[in-house]
Structure 1
Amino acid sequence: MASTNINLNMTSVENREYRLGTIIGWDGKASDLIKESAYDERSAKKHGGCAGKGSGCKLCELASPLNQETMCSNAIIQCQVGNLTDCALIDHSPIGCSGENSKFNLSMHVGLKRRGKPLQNTLNISTNLKEQDMVFGASEKLRQTIRDAKERFNPKAIFIGMACATAIIGEDIDSIAEEMEPEVGVPIIPLHCEGFRSKHWSTGFDIAFHGVLRQIVERHPTKKQNDLINIVALWGSDYFSE
């Protein structure tokens, strides 16, 4: 499969249905799925996905009806970035978008215990947008929440998760993150993870770790550990060490 460069100058990523031509569901044989998707033909294309799928592909999620029966990218940000130790996640959203954080906090406790690490809670905070914020904007509220996150948690990094509501009113989380970073003294990473951005909740993984790679991982490390492999897993047991 052709290699694809990751553009770390961009704060957003391509949706999986565009980049990979993925679909949510399939009813049929795996052999038919390979044929209908023209997988081999698309794999040979430089760009890949629906944009470079070629004439043989008969599947495309972009042309399918809206599906509301899956998770959203915002929820994946909460279960992935929210489970990063020593980092705070700001849900720039109405409080309802933070409803699953208690469940993800439990999964973090389980994961830490399995690995023999000290237990800690997820460091989440919501801007708790109200009707007035939706009408007049919530940029100042986000600035204050960043200050609050720094004061309460003293994290090593602060992530900002976009929600459907904040995307609709056009909140500029990129500019605010860039503006506030010198004040709080830690990386502030904007994540464009609004729920309607992609039909595939799995796009949230790309969004989360694009942000980590872009603003936390050292671009040109002076020292490299050749036997070190970073493994990103949803959660659960360690199947990889052996």
Structure 2
Amino acid sequence: MGLLDKRKPQIREKRLNTLNAYFGDVSQLLNSMEEKEVSQRIRTFSQTSFDEIIYVLQVLNGIEDAGIVIHGPLGCSAVQLYMLSKYNRRKWIVTNLNEKDSILGSGEKLELAIRKLYKSCKPNVIFIVTTPVVAINNDDVLSPIIELENELNIKIVPIFSDGFKSKSSIFGGDVAFHAICKYLLTDKRKEKQSNLLNLISISESKKELDGIKNLLNEIGVKTNIVPRFSTLADIEIASQAAFSISIDKDNGDYFVKSLEEKFNIPFLSNLCPIGIKGTKDWLINIGRAFGLEKNAEVVADKYSDDLREYVNSNKLNGLRVYINLPTSKAFSILKLIKEFGGNLAGITVDHVDSVNEEELIYIQNLNENIKLHVADDQPFEEENILNKLNPDLYIGLSRECALAAKLGVPSIAVDNLDILGFSGVKNLIKAVDKAIINKKFVERLKNENKLFYKKNWYNKSINWYIKQEVK
């Protein structure tokens, strides 16, 4: 059965053996992957973590001419306020379901919300994001959609996000891409464009994407960036591309595989274009696919030569670095650290699965006795790790960096730092130098802050609450 045959995608735990709880040896995890017997882990205690609706909204908010209806109680739309700060979009509405609606049905409220959104914003496509309340009640979503599509002459796409079937929040990206590919990309007769590349992006900045686009233009490849900063027209063109590649291969895995299944568009699998070697390999791999390998090598060498001064003067050499980032980005940063002479103290990723097998082998071959920590926002475990390891530098997102800084570890938050491509190397190395030179601030924070948890927690093993699931 194909990826798009069902109403909803298969959960990642079944499709890719995804884990979102693990602490231990990489070799043990690789052995279980090779034997196709990856045992799921659960946490008997867990702090609040992301859910799939956040990932759904992250994908949809990138489509600039889309309207979004969040079909659920008011609280389910709270995350959209966070998205407003990042995307500055106004084309959304919430159905604001209450107890009465959950008993008697919510079709009328959904229909009213769609009409209001269409009248006020005139979007080119409307996405209906269902929430756990709608899933539990098994409300009829399709009937109002079919009726209003004909009346308003607009595409209305249901996104069936349950919020509880998968423990891995990145599954929300699969849910969104499943609907986009199933309901928006329907015309298989369009002629292919031989030099067109689908560049799948979800969270990258405009500046980063412009830089990557310019690099690809230099080697002779035309890019169609979706869904970030895209329109409905850009998404529909995706079926005409010669190849697809995702900047973050974890986030884009479902989309590129769906495009291959439905339109026979091959996809290229690479880590993020981060670091000198990482960006060169990424660029040359694309060039090779389009028959432009020589062009790609010339462009890559030109920009690589400009970075020699950063290689020679960087302060990463010999440092023990701890990384906590989304999976593909974490493994890409790791390779940059090794490229610049740094050492890996430890690593936390939000999930791990068969897509990451090559990177796990890379960590195993480092022979540095690194324990892999898989956790989606579990700071109590990470503080225990950092207390035990005491790294020289921490690279993560803002919320995690605040914790590391309070423990006295110089920290670099990369969520607002452009780190892709050759220019990203300069930005990251400058941030490293700045963090290492200016240690006084984190040292003061450490002196003025007490430990966040009880002392007996720091004496326990990190995986104290991680247990193998028994079926």
- Give the TM-score normalised by the residue count of structure 1: 0.78
Q: Deviations over 1:97-123 (max 9, x none)?
A: 1111122122224xxxxxxxxxxx241
Q: Which has the larger radius of gyration?
A: 2
1:33: which partner in 2? 29
Aligned pair partner of 1:123 in 73, 91, 104: 91
Q: Select the residue among 106, 121, 136 that pairs with 1:168.
A: 136
Look up the match of 1:223. 191
Are the structure 2 counterparts of residues 202 and 66 from structure 1 closer, same or farther at C-alpha, using a change threshold of 3 Å? farther
Counterpart of 1:165 in structure 2: which amino acid?
V
Say if 1:66 and 1:193 are closer, same or farther in 2 by CA, change over 3 A. farther
Amino acid at match of 2:111: R
Cα distance in 1 for residues equivalent to 2:6 and 2:116: 27
Q: Deviation of residue 33 (structure 1)?
A: 1.1
1:81–1:208 contact (8 Å) kept in structure 2 = yes
Q: How does 1:45-64 map onto structure 2 within 5 Å?
A: 57-60=37-40
Structure 1 alignment gaps of length 5 or more: 43-56, 110-120
8 Å contact from structure 1 (residues 83, 122) kept in 2: no
Residues 196-232 of structure 1 deviation map (CA, whole Å, 9 limit, x = unaligned) = 1321111111111111111212431422222222233
> CA-to-partner distance for each residue in 1:48-84, whole Å, 9 max, x for gaps?
xxxxxxxxx15125x7769663211112111211221
Structure 2 distance, partners of 1:227, 1:204, is 31
In structure 1, C-alpha distance between the alignment counterparts of 2:190 and 2:124, rounded to whole Å:
21
| Partner-residue secondary structure (3-state), 1:11 | coil
Q: Report the count of equivalent residues.
A: 210
Gaps of 5+ in 2: 216-471
Counterpart CA distance in 1 for 2:177 and 2:14 is 18
Equivalence for 2:204: 236
Q: Are 1:203 and 2:203 matched, yes or no?
A: no
- Of the three residues 56, 77, 94, the one matched with 2:56 is 77
Q: Is the 2:124–2:154 Cα contact (8 Å) retained in structure 1? A: yes
Query: How far apart are residue 13 of structure 1 and its match?
Result: 1.0
More helix by percentage: 2
8 Å CA contact 1:73, 1:193 repeated in 2: yes
Secondary structure of the structure 2 residue equivalent to 1:232: strand
Instruction: Note if contact 2:70-2:95 (Cα within 8 Å) is conserved in structure 1.
Output: yes
Q: How does 1:60-209 map to 2 (within 5 A)?
A: 60=40, 69-109=48-88, 121-209=89-177
What's the CA shift for 1:6? 2.4
The letter for the 2-side match of 1:6 is L
Call closer, same or farther: CA 1:65–1:76 in 2, change over 3 Å.
Answer: same
Q: Secondary structure in 1 aligned to 2:68? A: strand
> Within the alignment, does 1:15 sit opposite 2:11 as a pair?
yes
Q: Tell me, in whole angstroms, the C-alpha distance in 1 between the residues paired with 2:152 and 2:167.
A: 35
TM-superposed CA distance for 1:17, in Å, is 0.9
3-state SS in 2 of match to 1:79: helix
Alpha-carbon distance in structure 2 between the residues aligned to 1:216 and 1:195: 23
Higher strand share: 2
Q: Give 1:166 shift.
A: 1.1
Which AA in structure 1 matches 2:127?
A: F
Corresponding residue for residue 53 of structure 1: none
* d(CA) in 1 for partners of 2:30, 2:154: 46
Larger RCO (CA under 8 A, 6+ residues apart): 1
Task: Write the deviation string for residues 4-46 of structure 1: whole angstroms up to 9, x where unpaired.
Answer: 8322x433111111211111022012222111xx32343xxxx
Following TM superposition, by how much is the alpha carbon of 1:174 offset from its aligned partner in structure 2, in angstroms? 2.5
TM-score normalised over the length of structure 2: 0.42
Q: 1:30 to 1:219 in 2, by over 3 A?
A: farther
Percent of residue pairs bearing the same amino acid type = 26
Query: Distance in 1 between the 2:174 and 2:153 partners?
Result: 26
Letter of the 2:23 partner, please give it: D
> Are the equivalent residues in 2 in contact too, given 1:85–1:122 (CA < 8 A)?
no
